[in-house]
Chain A
């Protein structure tokens, strides 16, 4: 019995060997050029769905009769999430600034707002505000050390780094979904078109910023779809002469460069963006957006400091009204 099994095994073995060698040889052949053929995309209906051919016929949405039940829309390929990191600090206009920024973000699909307070603890105002905003959001806080609060020093460094740390921690153990990171200060003005532009960022994308650096706009100079220089009014020698609102970074790049952060030590004023971008990309790799950097879709607006000269020193009102 035993010898019969051995015999069969010995006889089958060379055939197994021949099959493996044939397969190996076959895969070494150069691939013939691709011929057009019907192709069913695995991306067509999202993850794990059946592969369906592209439907060309059928009425357009506008022509459907009211009483007909509309076919269920197929799930779309997943949009990359835009992570907007917003440093904020307590001041009279804070709630107003966050209100109009939230009004903008509400209209952007698949956006996650990372709001980072410059404070030792979360404030009630911001917590309440975010709870009411109805946006996917994360509320962080980190105080700026007093020694860094002098005029002329870069601001919000700790807050942006806290946002980066949260992102890296969140995606530490899971395969990162497609995403884009953008630093959105709370007083700038953002066009909705800007978010469409940045969503397709593969590595680092750039665009013009209005009303910055003592000019109507600053922008990357583009030739043949590549950034070749900078139109800037301030320190043109910067490696990346760009405003914080003028670039977006792919989430994948952030995760694959875990040491890339905004520097405090050794960073000169106005060099924050350059010092950060130097760690993750080169000028040659930048992806120009906004019609080859000829459209202004974000403005570096600043809100006037509020005059509270008539505000009494001691509040006598029984009702505490949040402003």
Chain B
């Protein structure tokens, strides 16, 4: 039989098509090479990530400040915080330090009520990234609150605040951080910030340009939604307060700031530990300023930028029970 060229080509074509289809079907099938390929790809991905991390670290610019770099002329805010050892101490200081980190040109004076500096506070200050001075002074036994006594029996934090004033006036005593007090002529402002209050970032900009003593409202204090100065024509004419309005300065500790030069000019101005209940603030301010000369801040004292919050004492029923059985929590884990 004579083979026609046309038939040969046709047969050749059909075989080719069949082979092509077979090859295409095979291409889609999983092959035994996949596990090593996957392993290789994973290895490369791990390398990628490591390289990218290293490159990121190399290229990372220095951390940007929370605000634009401040001119040297900006007055420093000296924040005085008395603190004492208790279960919530570290938590309180952590969130306070986070707020203070947002404020440019701020110097934190943290004063412990203790015989010596504690590792917890020293470590926290070192890690905070803030400019700080660590001070320590123990409250005398006679003025210390006994277990279960309400907070108003003795004014608290008096020795600690006075210790900070001493340091600012050049009497030393720092146990950590910046040891040298501000040189004479330093422009600055001093603010007494308890470790459990809540501070808005705006508050610090309001107080920064204090010339004498500036004041503003404080939220959630004295049994009221807020306490604060009453202002007319830019002058303080009275105080919105429910508790003993006859006090010379019915303001909360968180409701005023004092210019540093004024404090240095009046070396005897300090807090009086024997002051009657609610008169602690007045014991300092009456040495420094006349009520009519107070400088109202926070939109003429119509905005609340600080809150007198209090943190609940945590219940430690389980802890006490386990400690009695000798199975208490690990003291090496810092809380």
Query: Which residue numbers of A lie inside 8 Å of B, CB to CB?
Result: 6-7, 10, 13-14, 16-17, 20-21, 24, 27-31, 34, 39, 41-45, 54-55, 61-62, 70, 73-74, 76-77, 92-93, 95-97, 99-100, 103-104, 106-107, 189-192, 208, 210-211, 213-217, 219, 231, 233-234, 294-296, 299-304, 306-311, 317, 319, 321-323
How many angstroms from the CA of A233 to the CA of B302 in the assembled complex?
A: 46
Q: Which residues of B contact A234 (CB under 8 A)?
A: 318
Interface residues of B in 210-226 (CB under 8 A from A): 217, 219-220, 222-226
User: Which residue in A6, A74, A306, A311 is a CB contact (below 8 Å) of B59?
Assistant: A74
Q: What residue of chain B has the Cβ atom nearest to residue A71's Cβ?
A: B59
User: Which residue in B36, B40, B311 is a CB contact (below 8 Å) of A302?
Assistant: B311
Interface flags for B297-320 (1: CB within 8 Å of A; 0: not) read 000001110010111101111110
Interface flags for B40-72 (1: CB within 8 Å of A; 0: not) read 100110011101111110111110001000000
User: Which residue in A13, A16, A31 is a CB contact (below 8 Å) of B36?
Assistant: A31
B37 CB-CB contact with A under 8 Å: yes
Contacting pair B31 A211 (CB below 8 A): no
B73 CB-CB contact with A under 8 Å: no
B275 CB-CB contact with A under 8 Å: no
Contacting pair A310 B37 (CB below 8 A): no
Contacting pair B319 A216 (CB below 8 A): yes
Q: Which residues of B contact A304 (CB under 8 A)?
A: 309-312
Q: Is the contact region of chain A dominated by helix, strand, or loop, or is it mixed? A: loop
B7 CB-CB contact with A under 8 Å: no
| Shortest Cβ distance from residue A76 to the other chain B in the assembled complex, whole angstroms | 5
Contacting pair A99 B88 (CB below 8 A): no
| Shortest Cβ distance from residue B15 to the other chain A in the assembled complex, whole angstroms | 9
Contacting pair B312 A303 (CB below 8 A): yes
Q: Which 3 A-B pairs have the closest CB atoms?
A: A233-B318, A310-B223, A214-B318
Query: Which residue numbers of B lie inside 8 Å of A, CB to CB?
Result: 9, 12-13, 16-17, 19-20, 23-24, 26-27, 31-33, 36-37, 40, 43-44, 47-49, 51-56, 58-62, 66, 87-88, 90-92, 94-95, 98-99, 101-102, 198-201, 217, 219-220, 222-226, 240, 242-243, 302-304, 307, 309-312, 314-319, 322, 329, 333-335
How many angstroms from the CA of A29 to the CA of B36 in the assembled complex?
A: 10
Q: What residue of chain B has the Cβ atom nearest to residue A188's Cβ?
A: B91
Q: Which residues of A contact B47 (CB under 8 A)?
A: 39, 41
Q: Which residues of B contact A299 (CB under 8 A)?
A: 88, 90-91, 94, 335
Q: What residue of chain B has the Cβ atom nearest to residue A209's Cβ?
A: B335
* Sample of 6 more A-B contacts, CB < 8 Å, known A44-B52, A100-B198, A311-B224: A20-B24, A28-B31, A34-B40, A219-B333, A231-B329, A301-B91
